[in-house]
Amino acid sequence: MKTIDELLADGVSGKRVFVRADLNVPLADGTITDDGRIRAVLPTVKALADAGAKVVVASHLGRPKGAPDPAFSLLPAAERLGELLGAPVAFAQDTVGPAAHDAVDGLQPGQVAVIENLRFNPGETSKDDTERGEFADRLAALADVYVGDGFGAVHRKHASVYDLPARLPHYAGYLIATEVGVLKKLTEDVKRPYVVALGGAKVSDKLAVIDQLLGKADRLLIGGGMAYTFLKAKGYEVGISLLQEDQVPVVTEYLERAEKQGVELLLPVDVVVSREFPDLKTKAPTENTVVDADKIPADQEGLDIGPKTRELYASKLADAETVFWNGPMGVFEHPDYAEGTKAVAQALVGSKGFTVVGGGDSAAAVRTLGFDENAFGHISTGGGASLEYLEGKTLPGLAALED
């Protein structure tokens, strides 16, 4: 995989460099609530601009249905990128049409343009190779060189991620190079004890990575909504907690495998329960109680790990040399149910080992709960991509850069 440093060494002054970024930031009424992904691509964009390139930044945002949708416009991201760069950023109101060509043609060396949401064109996500290839051809007409730096999208076989690199000289940006280096630390010559904390809503999203980690990690700490399927597998009442009944047999098998392989697979010993899900907009206080994990009332749901579990998990993280955390321990968006996620984050901050926050909601939680991002070894920009890498899958966007 050739890197951006090799590109810069060859010289890029005056060249049109297409940067596939991941500007898929959360928006609330058109306002960005977390700009972490924009800041993550800054080193690549700035280095290219400083070297005199004409930088064309492209990304997806959300899941529009192959047609323009103002709710998913990249304009707020383009404006924020300009603020962070401290320089004007041109914005094209289409992807490969007249506006995009005008914006790129108008660039002077060292200037930056952002084109509109790639997913406004059906060719970006098409499963038809020909349709995807035609869109990639039109994107290629905007540039001389390709730099892949949208790690959060490399597990997608999309035109701008997979097909476009084949049409241009291609290089990995700083973010992708960093992300891959970190993931290699989690899969090759891992320093032990290696502890993995997994949370989030659905156990089905994590089954493949659990399958892989049962042979590699020393301890697995389970929290979040997915924990209740594990508790059900142990025969516990889980009330109206989030449950994937169809996954109970698989989870039961994993519990048995963990015991046979000597892997500590820890589940919550107590949980915070309530009769109703909290209002995440008003953040109004809720009625809740702490109960043992095997005593969840039939009419209540678990919304966070309890204080005993927080203490237990912190102790299991204390001596770790390597930690990977993906998924919150509870409904961290509400203050009544944020303590479990906060406890895990704090344990990582206090760890002397190499700590990785696996993107997505975990990264959002770190920022929402006010932690210093520099206190962690690495905060990934791609939760799904990180998990698929750890599962041992070939990621199309990385494979395209390696050719």
3-state DSSP call for residue 113? strand
Q: Does the N-terminal peptide bond of residue 88 adopt cis geometry, omega within 30 degrees of 0?
A: no
Catalytic residue among 46, 202, 216, 393: 202
Q: Is 333 annotated as a binding residue?
A: yes
Catalytic residue among 223, 306, 358, 360: 360
Q: What residues have CB less than 8 Å from 165, skipping those under 6 apart?
A: 146, 148, 400, 401, 403
CA-CA distance, 376 to 317, in Å (whole number)? 14
Q: Is 24 annotated as a binding residue?
A: yes
Q: Is 202 a catalytic residue?
A: yes
3-state DSSP call for residue 270? strand
Q: Is 119 annotated as a binding residue?
A: yes
Q: Is 129 annotated as a binding residue?
A: no
CA-CA distance, 196 to 189, in Å (whole number)? 16
Q: Is 264 annotated as a binding residue?
A: no
CA-CA distance, 198 to 324, in Å (whole number)? 8
In the numeric block, which tokens belong to residue 30? 């058109």
Q: Is 37 annotated as a binding residue?
A: yes
Catalytic residue among 37, 54, 132, 138: 37
Q: Is 397 annotated as a binding residue?
A: no
Q: Is 353 annotated as a binding residue?
A: no
Question: Nearest 5 degrees, angle CA 60-CA 61-CA 67?
Answer: 80
Q: Is 37 a catalytic residue?
A: yes
Sole residue written with tokens 């760890």:
351
Q: Is 302 annotated as a binding residue?
A: yes
Do 4 and 144 contact (CB within 8 A), yes or no? no
Q: Is 362 annotated as a binding residue?
A: yes
Nearest Cα to 78, choosing from 100, 101, 51?
100
Strand partners, 147: 19, 171
In total, the chain counts a number of residues equal to 403
In the numeric block, which tokens belong to residue 248? 């109970």
CA-CA distance, 38 to 363, in Å (whole number)? 13
Q: For residue 3, what is the DSSP state? A: B
Q: Is 391 annotated as a binding residue?
A: no
What is the b/e burial string over 305-342, where b = at least 16 CB atoms within 10 angstroms of the residue's CB? bbeebbebbbebbeebebbbbbbbbbbbbbebbbbbbb
Q: Is 378 annotated as a binding residue?
A: no
Q: What residues have CB less than 8 Å from 360, skipping those under 6 apart?
A: 200, 326, 327, 382, 383, 384
Catalytic residue among 133, 358, 382, 384: 384
Do 336 and 305 contact (CB within 8 A), yes or no? no
Do 171 and 20 contact (CB within 8 A), yes or no? no
Q: Is 60 annotated as a binding residue?
A: yes
Q: Which residues make up each annotated binding site for substrate?
A: 22-24, 37, 60-63, 119, 156
Q: Which residues make up each annotated binding site for ATP?
A: 206, 302, 333, 359-362
Q: Which residues make up each annotated binding site?
A: 22-24, 37, 60-63, 119, 156, 206, 302, 333, 359-362
Residues designated catalytic: 37, 202, 360, 384
